[in-house]
Structure 1
Amino acid sequence: MKLDRHIFYENRARLATAFVFIVMIFAFLVRFHNISTLSFWQDEGYSAWFSDQSWHYLWTKVPTFETQPVLYYSILKLWRNLGSDETTLRLLSTLFSVASIPFVAATAWICAPRKDQLTVTVLASFLFAMSETQIRVSHDVRSYSMMSLSLATTLFSVSYLLINGERLTRPLIEVFRRDKTLTLALALLGLGMAMLAWSHNIGIVYVFLFTFFLFFWWIGCEEKIHTLTNLTFAGLIALIAYFPALFNSLSQVQGIGEHGFWMTPPSAVRFAKDAFGLAIGKSWAGLFIFPLSLLGICFLFYSSLKNQENRARSLIPVLLVLTAFLPMITTAILSYLWQPIYLRRTFEASQIALIIGCSVAPVAIGHFTRRRWKTVTVSLIAMFGVASAFSYHSVVANPDERRAANFRKLVARVMESAEPGSKPTIVASPNSVALPIMYYEEIQDTEFDLRPVPGPFPATKAQYVYPAGNTGVPAINASMVEELSVSLQNVDTIWLVERQPWRFDQDRHVGRYIESAFPCILEKLPPYATKRQRRTDSGKCEQ
């Protein structure tokens, strides 16, 4: 009978693996669809510019003014050997996102009650594949998909070690020799935590979360010496892998504190909306999905208490709750006590924990009903349908709703309206706006007379004020506009691309000068760009 159960268990594992592989293919196709529909936005312009610099500049100069680690930009620099078009650059994030699915599925398999492992695993992998949040970040040339992969890897490793705690009580040398799976789990734990810290500076919050969680778990272990030795091995891997960025991170945190940051502490309403929306991407949909996620996590705790064979399973729901909400709460508290660093996209990777909880919800609902499998089946179909419809509407059918500025369209329009053989003059305020324009200038093989204010990115001077933390994009002052006016004396027509003057040009130095010197508006290209001209000698505007 035990042999039959073992064979059945292995068959379910093979079937789950096959389903997850199919979901990965499906997820890739969903993410690849419309991957290049949207223009680069401002932050993608940063990524494109950073990854185009020399290795020496990237690792020695960029950390002195950029607020994030440079590993993602380094990987992107290598990736650019395959091409620099939008599709190729965004494909890296897509692959990071798809690679997260096996770890999400494996964590769901570990968490789920044994008889429901197949159901929970397939649903968790599908919900991640169709997550509006995960699809959106997989279309960005930013590090957030890498952050999701790092968190999924770490969450799986910690969950695996929790349910196999007795195997950690053996000496480290014996683990190396006889337990390759546990060795791999320890290595993945170390690499996952290092990658979390490398992917984004907020990733350090996750690292502390997992470190303190494992520490308190270790306190309750009977065999402490060998368990600590094995966990220290994982910690050393993380420390060695992250060491090159350690000193840069300290200086970046200091720089943010000295120069301020553009974010604001979250209000109670905003925090509540972000919490409800974390499970699926939108706060209104979260009103339905968020309670299901909590129901699933509570059911995991309930079922683990009934499992007398492995009481460590009761810690996994606690880990899911901490992973889901502690980074969000921590950044909110730090935003009030120290410096505003609360930004939803920096902790959207926490959605993985709520996805796993949500995948258990149909099982939890079925457990308390008479017709269990019928209830589970109906719940699964409903969740498959809701996730698919929501993601299709938000990402596939209406992709333009997620972006305001279209730099690709702007560059094409500037060249289209230019006289043959001329170099259109573009005033970029602040200077960071020039980065996506420069990218499309190269991609579309055009040439502009680009005038970033106060100068090319990065503009680093001791007397500058930096309202966005990044010490390459200074606030605009009167002296900068005086220099701009001198350089534009012989220019009759310009394009003004002005982004967020309320942040970088609060006194509207650039705006007031341009309106005075170039009062004639020839064309508007919302939301940032206007084509302007000086008055003619007769004092009129040409049409």
Structure 2
Amino acid sequence: MVAKAEQDRLDALIERFLWVIVALILFVALAFRLPGLDSRSLWIDELYSEWFSSRSFTELWRDVPLYETHPPIYYILLKLWTLIFGNSELGLRSLSLVASLATILLVAVSGRLVKADWLGNMVSLLGAALLAVNYANIREAQNARPYSLLTLLFMVAIVAALVLVARVQRDPKAAGKTGGWMAPGLILGLTVGCTLWFHNTSLFVAVGIWSGLALSLIVTPAELRLRNFAIFFGAGVLTLLAWAPYAPIFIQQSRTFMGLGFWLEPKTRDLYSAWMLFIGDSWPALLLSIALLALGLFRLARSGPAIALLVAAILLIPLYAVLAVSFSLKPVYLQRLFVWMIPLGLLVIALGIVTATRWQWPRLLLALIVIALAVTRSVDENGKPIDDWKGIVAEIARNARPGDVVIAAPAEGIIAVDYYARRQPNFPPVVCVPGCYPQRNLPRPYGSNFGAPKLILADGEIVEQALKTHGRVWLVQVSVTLYDPKSIVRSRIAAARTFVRYHGNALAKVELFE
């Protein structure tokens, strides 16, 4: 597709200016990720992260897995991180920011790591540029949640798997040596083992990776299959050994979760929403993503069928395995669970762009269109409303009077206000309904975890006791439709007090009653 002279020229240019280009990409990435990082209010899931990371190490390892659906390792790392950088918004989020920038750097140099030619290096740099402006990766880089770290770990594992397959396929003699397959095999096994400590759905991704490795054996010469199978099997055993100390907790959490009345409901949109993470969530962006992914996989299959099978398995099997569980057994699908796919998907899309035509200017135009769509989506995402708990607490603090009370419902309501309330002098007392988080082992249904129960009529007595000893009421509620669909708390307050006003938005608000 490209003349040898032009290939050599591009190779020389990339080699000469690689780190300048990488630095520019990282600068752009930082410019998209810094605004609001230290000023935007933490939302409810981030406040959960702060609350859990403030627990003791013993509690995090021994007690938290009994009622929280996520593994404790992210909270432990965040605790260690905040011991150094503090628990401000910037301190809490900077761990995710660093992980996001590290992922972009890894994508940018992935072509060199797999010892690709000029085309692979161009694809790597374009993929990194697309990742730098990708709205979902930007969002998770600004969130004190585990998904940015998980994305980095999975990208390390995926690059290791690509290197491993490339070496055992294209260079059999080197692959038989320790230096050929040992390093990527060890990195693959240990890294996937680590991901299983971060999120319970990581098990599906591990299945996808090893399914891809198994599929690569189909196009492996017969005399190498047994050896390659042994290498892949050994890496899998290493993953299981790395995961083994956590496996009993995983089994217990999974059993507990199956008995939880979870808040998700399967939707038709779930079948394709993960593919909207790459360029944008409009139909033109979705169709363009799918077309470029298909073209990229086709080009990859022609040049390296084993690699193509591995990449296709990683992109398809975990996603549709989770969707199968979500539609048939238990709703577990969330779009954000698949942000780990974005770096790999963007590399395939970049390959589709670079190989779409033999002419340079149409390729450049196509790349600019994809980048423009991605930037537009990122700008739109930045303007969306959030849980403004900082603003809500500030509103209460500014207008509070002696004798006021804050009623927080359900149990996680205290998590929503406490982080900012403890920074406000003379903040009104807070009454939690049915009690402050976590409220465990109560004889009632639970919602998103086994620390936050749903409300029942008897909880109205807690509200009435608060009304007897306080005047004005600031009602803070979280996920009303999930925890209090019958409006037990609000109706009790409204029967005794007069509604004055509310502050906030549909995602997070406080109501004042006098």
Q: In structure 1, how many angstroms separate the alpha carbons of the residues matched to 2:344 and 2:191?
A: 16
Question: In the TM superposition, what is the alpha-carbon distance from 1:57 to its structure 2 partner?
Answer: 0.4
Are residues 1:318 and 2:309 paired? Answer: yes
Deviations 1:464-521 (A, max 9, x none): 31132x1001010111222332243211111101222221112221122111122332
Deviations 1:130-173 (A, max 9, x none): 10110011111101101211221111111111110159978999
8 Å CA contact 1:186–1:230 kept in 2: the answer is yes
- Distance change in 2, residues 1:169/1:113 (3 Å): closer
Partner of 2:288: 288
Which amino acid counterpart does residue 456 of structure 1 have in structure 2?
C
Q: In structure 1, how many angstroms separate the alpha carbons of the residues matched to 2:403 and 2:140?
A: 35
8 Å CA contact 1:321–1:353 kept in 2: the answer is no
Partner of 1:353: 344
Q: In structure 1, how many angstroms separate the alpha carbons of the residues matched to 2:185 and 2:16?
A: 24
Partner of 1:248: 249
Question: In the TM superposition, what is the alpha-carbon distance from 1:8 to its structure 2 partner?
Answer: 8.5
8 Å CA contact 2:215–2:306 kept in 1: the answer is no
8 Å CA contact 2:280–2:373 kept in 1: the answer is no
Question: In the TM superposition, what is the alpha-carbon distance from 1:342 to its structure 2 partner?
Answer: 1.1
Which amino acid counterpart does residue 351 of structure 1 have in structure 2?
I
Which amino acid counterpart does residue 288 of structure 1 have in structure 2?
L
Structure 2 SS opposite 1:492? coil
Partner of 1:222: 223
Structure 2 SS opposite 1:426? strand
Partner of 1:492: 471
Question: In the TM superposition, what is the alpha-carbon distance from 1:53 to its structure 2 partner?
Answer: 0.4
8 Å CA contact 1:16–1:118 kept in 2: the answer is no
- Distance change in 2, residues 1:491/1:297 (3 Å): same
Partner of 2:35: 33
- Distance change in 2, residues 1:167/1:208 (3 Å): same
8 Å CA contact 2:216–2:307 kept in 1: the answer is no
Q: In structure 1, how many angstroms separate the alpha carbons of the residues matched to 2:335 and 2:493?
A: 35
Are residues 1:334 and 2:325 paired? Answer: yes
Partner of 1:271: 271
Which amino acid counterpart does residue 461 of structure 1 have in structure 2?
N
Partner of 1:532: 512
Partner of 1:75: 77
Partner of 2:384: 401
After the TM superposition, which residues 405-420 of structure 1 pair with which residues of structure 2 at under 5 Å, given as runs? Answer: 405-419=387-401
8 Å CA contact 2:315–2:341 kept in 1: the answer is yes
Which amino acid counterpart does residue 51 of structure 1 have in structure 2?
S
Partner of 1:425: 405
Q: In structure 1, how many angstroms separate the alpha carbons of the residues matched to 2:383 and 2:376?
A: 17
**TM-score, structure 2 normalization:** 0.89
After the TM superposition, which residues 179-258 of structure 1 pair with which residues of structure 2 at under 5 Å, given as runs? Answer: 179=179, 182-218=181-217, 220=220, 222-223=223-224, 226-258=227-259
- Distance change in 2, residues 1:217/1:141 (3 Å): same
Question: In the TM superposition, what is the alpha-carbon distance from 1:247 to its structure 2 partner?
Answer: 1.2
8 Å CA contact 1:111–1:300 kept in 2: the answer is no
Q: In structure 2, how many angstroms separate the alpha carbons of the residues matched to 1:184 and 1:443?
A: 49
8 Å CA contact 1:196–1:206 kept in 2: the answer is no
Deviations 1:234-257 (A, max 9, x none): 334423332332111111111111
- Distance change in 2, residues 1:476/1:229 (3 Å): same
Q: In structure 2, how many angstroms separate the alpha carbons of the residues matched to 1:165 and 1:48?
A: 44
- Distance change in 2, residues 1:8/1:361 (3 Å): closer
Are residues 1:159 and 2:162 paired? Answer: yes
Relative to structure 2, which stretch is displaced further, 122-131 or 215-224? 215-224
- Distance change in 2, residues 1:84/1:316 (3 Å): same
The match for 1:139 among 142, 166, 169 is 142
Relative to structure 2, which stretch is displaced further, 132-141 or 209-218? 209-218
Partner of 2:51: 49
Which amino acid counterpart does residue 246 of structure 1 have in structure 2?
A
Q: In structure 2, how many angstroms separate the alpha carbons of the residues matched to 1:70 and 1:169?
A: 42
Structure 2 SS opposite 1:259? coil
8 Å CA contact 1:101–1:129 kept in 2: the answer is yes
Which amino acid counterpart does residue 96 of structure 2 have in structure 1?
S
Partner of 1:537: none
The match for 2:439 among 450, 454, 459 is 459
Are residues 1:19 and 2:18 paired? Answer: no
Q: In structure 2, how many angstroms separate the alpha carbons of the residues matched to 1:240 and 1:118?
A: 35
- Distance change in 2, residues 1:185/1:423 (3 Å): farther
Q: In structure 2, how many angstroms separate the alpha carbons of the residues matched to 1:71 and 1:168?
A: 38
Q: In structure 2, how many angstroms separate the alpha carbons of the residues matched to 1:149 and 1:226?
A: 29
Q: In structure 2, how many angstroms separate the alpha carbons of the residues matched to 1:245 and 1:168?
A: 37
CA RMSD of aligned residues (A): 2.9
Partner of 1:517: 496
Question: In the TM superposition, what is the alpha-carbon distance from 1:266 to its structure 2 partner?
Answer: 2.1
8 Å CA contact 2:405–2:474 kept in 1: the answer is yes
Q: In structure 2, how many angstroms separate the alpha carbons of the residues matched to 1:524 and 1:27?
A: 34
Q: In structure 2, how many angstroms separate the alpha carbons of the residues matched to 1:212 and 1:430?
A: 43
Q: In structure 1, how many angstroms separate the alpha carbons of the residues matched to 2:19 and 2:504?
A: 50
Q: What percentage of residue pairs aligned between the two structures are identical?
A: 24
8 Å CA contact 2:100–2:149 kept in 1: the answer is yes
Which amino acid counterpart does residue 361 of structure 1 have in structure 2?
G
Q: In structure 2, how many angstroms separate the alpha carbons of the residues matched to 1:247 and 1:75?
A: 20
Q: In structure 2, how many angstroms separate the alpha carbons of the residues matched to 1:314 and 1:441?
A: 57
Which amino acid counterpart does residue 207 of structure 1 have in structure 2?
A
Please list every run of 5 or more consecutive structure 1 residues that lacks an aligned counterpart in the other structure.
305-312, 535-543
- Distance change in 2, residues 1:193/1:160 (3 Å): same
Q: In structure 1, how many angstroms separate the alpha carbons of the residues matched to 2:499 and 2:377?
A: 45
8 Å CA contact 2:397–2:424 kept in 1: the answer is no
8 Å CA contact 2:503–2:510 kept in 1: the answer is yes
8 Å CA contact 2:279–2:373 kept in 1: the answer is no
Structure 1 SS opposite 2:196? helix
Q: In structure 2, how many angstroms separate the alpha carbons of the residues matched to 1:173 and 1:276?
A: 38
**TM-score, structure 1 normalization:** 0.85
Are residues 1:379 and 2:366 paired? Answer: yes
Relative to structure 2, which stretch is displaced further, 337-346 or 292-301? 292-301
The match for 2:93 among 90, 93, 102 is 90
- Distance change in 2, residues 1:169/1:479 (3 Å): farther
Residues paired across the two proteins, number: 505
Are residues 1:502 and 2:481 paired? Answer: yes
